[in-house]
Structure 1
Amino acid sequence: MRIYMASVFVDDLQKAHDFYVDKLGFVVKDSVKNEHYWWLTVTNPDGGTELLLEPNAHPAAQAYTAALRADGIPATQFLSEDVTAETAALKEKGVEFVTEPTDYGHSVVSAFDDTCGNIIQLVQLKRP
């Protein structure tokens, strides 16, 4: 068994599409629209686990994302080979960071605002 898909609630699918594709560099894996719904997943350019950009229309999803954000808790984490360089490159693209790269000994992390209601954390694992 392996992880196939994870999701993050977003407050605007078009804005999320633009941010995750244009700013972060992910690619659209599936984009299926019908009259009232849009199934939208993105992934790494070389494939892998998909991220479902899921509308937070349900009141429980709204409360959940608001509570995480208010407490400064990331909705998810993305792995980076070099958090400091990645943070600088994303800032050049206009991404707003809520925490700067911080070395915790076992990892280096920073976090940014995805413009769609979430804090996303970048993580660089330090392995021997």
Structure 2
Amino acid sequence: MRIHLSSVFVDDQAKALDFYTEVLGFRLKDDVPMGHSRWLTVVSPDDPDGTQLLLEPSEHPAVKPYKDALVADGIPATSFAVDDVRAEHTRLTALGVRFTQEPTDLGPVVVAVLDDTCGNLIQIAQHA
């Protein structure tokens, strides 16, 4: 068994697609119209047939209070692996990304947390 698809709820799919592809560097995998929303997935350019991230619309009434509570408590919606957290922090900061947690060494892992501009906090992590 392996993870095929995971998702993050986003406030605006077009804005999320721009952020996740143009800023974070993911690649568009699927873009299928579904009424006024889309089945919109991105993948790592290093693993185009790997795990897909669904940029899912935040339309269900339970989503907003859930996302608001996570952000208020500083809890990331998901975590992405990177080779060098400090280098990614520098690169993303130069692109205007706002971090809510600077790179922090936690022993076996270095982490930082960023705002995805679509209502989520996202952790980036580097395993030692």
Cα separation, 2, equivalents of 1:53 and 1:120: 13
SS at 2:62's partner residue?
Answer: helix
RMSD: 0.9
Aligned partner of 2:81 in structure 1 is 79
Q: Which runs of 4+ in 1 moved over 3 A?
A: none
TM, length-normalised to structure 2: 0.95
Partner amino acid for 1:20?
Y
State the 1:16 CA deviation.
0.3
Unmatched 5+ stretches in structure 1: none
Deviations 1:65-121 (A, max 9, x none): 111011100000000111001110111111111111000111100010000000000
Aligned partner of 2:106 in structure 1 is 104
Asked if the contact 2:9–2:56 (Cα under 8 Å) also holds between the matched residues in 1, the reply is yes
Asked if the contact 2:37–2:57 (Cα under 8 Å) also holds between the matched residues in 1, the reply is no
Partner amino acid for 1:32?
V
Unmatched 5+ stretches in structure 2: none
State the 1:63 CA deviation.
1.3
Task: Out of 70-79 and 90-99, give the one that drifted further.
Answer: 90-99
Cα separation, 2, equivalents of 1:88 and 1:63: 32
The alignment covers a number of residue pairs equal to: 126
Cα separation, 1, equivalents of 2:24 and 2:95: 9
SS at 2:14's partner residue?
Answer: helix
**Where do 1:41-52 residues align within 5 Å?**
41-46=41-46, 47=48, 48-52=50-54
**Where do 1:13-92 residues align within 5 Å?**
13-46=13-46, 47=48, 48-92=50-94
Matched residues, percent identical?
57
